[in-house]
Amino acid sequence: MQRKTIYSKDFILVAIGQIISIFGNQILRYALPLYLLIQTGSAALFGTISAAAFIPMLVLYPVGGIIADRLNKRNIMVILDFSTSALILLFSLLAGKTDIVSLIGITLIILYGIQGVYQPAVKASVPVLVDTEHIIQANSVVDVINSMASMAGPVIGGILFSVFGLTPILYISIICFFASAVMEIFIYIPFEKTQAKGNIFSTGFSDLNDSFSFIFKKQPVLWKMSLVYAAINLFLTSLVLISAPVLITQHLGFSADAANRLYGYAQGIIAAGSILGGLLAGILSKKLNAKVSPFLLIGCAFSILLGGIALQIFSSPIAIYITMIGGFGLLMVLSTLFQIQLMSYFQIVTPRHLIGKIISCVVCVCMCTNPVGQFIYGIAFEHIGNNVYLPFYIAALVVIGISILTRRIFYKVDGLVKNQVNGID
């Protein structure tokens, strides 16, 4: 039997398709809300539509998991990329001929909804396209692609938008999605059709029931790992997303121009941390195992603790900034390593016919914790006055506690993964 590695033709085509598709998606997510803000001058409308557009992706992620397990994953990616290309073409034809607020709102909602169905198909394809021992490496490639495209999209989109306006961005994204779809046609992803259980609603309910039954009864270690994954988003990722702009622009005493510039640098360092974490996951894939996960969590806790210590002890704003953002960058390296590991373990332990549904449910839970965490930290920073270091200490202590309490879970996961790799049920 031919060994399936990240250098196989099919995985390489998926990776290249992801680069093109995600880049097209990111420049649109940057340009369309910004164009709306410029046209209307309403920050409230800008925020409302941006938030509303996120809801369909959250709702459709579990649906995308069901579809990914029921239909050929390659066909899902091809159809959705062609559909997105057609959507943006239709937008470009209607722009200037209809109400721009409604047009952008509807387009963003559909665009995010498509991603909610598209991404589970990509994630469920990884364990089918590569052998078990290469899954961590394959996930690191997918994660690095996501991080780099997410970083490059707004940067290039910002340059194009400031120089040429919205129209070239629309044309580039149309070409990106069309090219990605054409490329994906030549991918071969093994697929076994499963028998539907009644109508679409009863089938969907039955599929979700099978997934939850597997998670809570057959492999309860999965829901425990899901809670750990969600906790990292709730306590750490959300803290970074809220504290960075709030502290840099409001608490450290920088001028407006300096604060904006320093916040831009901070975003770059955070993104670079995610990319480095993804690269390290690929490089260290043979050496990483589940027993290392609690130590990665402790490293994440100490990374966020650096920010709290700097805020409490240092008096120099630039010293606080350097220490805090350095900690954020290190946090992203370690948390990305941890999350790629965790996603790989889900894919290894889960039967192929359930992968799409279970992965989409896990990701959906984690996506829900981000806005919850941001809401909590937003209120906290609004009311704690000068004690801005407290959320850092609390988050670090909670995560250290989680790392200690979940050590046995990851030892069990390590045994399950080894059994799968060695072909032992």
**Is the pTM here over 0.85, yes or no?**
no
In whole angstroms, give the CA distance from residue 247 to residue 321. 9
- Residue count of the chain: 425
Q: Are 350 and 223 in contact (CB under 8 A)?
A: no
pLDDT in tens, 286-340: 777 778 888 999 999 999 999 999 999 998 999 999 999 999 999 999 988 888 8
pLDDT at residue 233, as a whole number: 84
In whole angstroms, give the CA distance from residue 340 to residue 159. 31
**Residues in contact with 200: Cβ distance below 8 Å, sequence separation at least 6, in sequence order:** none
pLDDT in tens, 150-171: 667 766 777 777 778 888 889 9
Q: What is the CATH number of domain 9-186?
A: 1.20.1250.20
Q: Let me know if domain 211-421 sits in CATH 1.20.1250.20.
A: yes
Q: Are 160 and 172 in contact (CB under 8 A)?
A: yes
- In 10 A of CB 3, how many CB atoms? 10
Please determine whether the domains at 9-186 and 211-421 fall in the same fold group of CATH: yes
Return the closest-CA partner of residue 312 out of 396, 255, 378.
Answer: 396
Return the closest-CA partner of residue 39 out of 116, 105, 123, 89.
Answer: 105
Q: Are 240 and 270 in contact (CB under 8 A)?
A: yes
Segments making up each domain of the chain, as ranges: 9-186, 211-421
**Residues in contact with 53: Cβ distance below 8 Å, sequence separation at least 6, in sequence order:** 105, 108, 109, 111, 112
Q: Are 252 and 365 in contact (CB under 8 A)?
A: no
And the tokens for 310? Answer: 């700097």
DSSP at 132: G
In whole angstroms, give the CA distance from residue 15 to residue 278. 14
pLDDT averages per 10-residue partition of the chain, 425 residues: 70 86 83 78 68 76 77 89 94 87 89 86 81 76 74 72 83 92 88 59 63 74 82 87 82 79 78 83 77 90 94 92 93 88 78 71 73 80 86 94 88 74 56
Return the closest-CA partner of residue 82 out of 184, 199, 3, 5.
Answer: 184
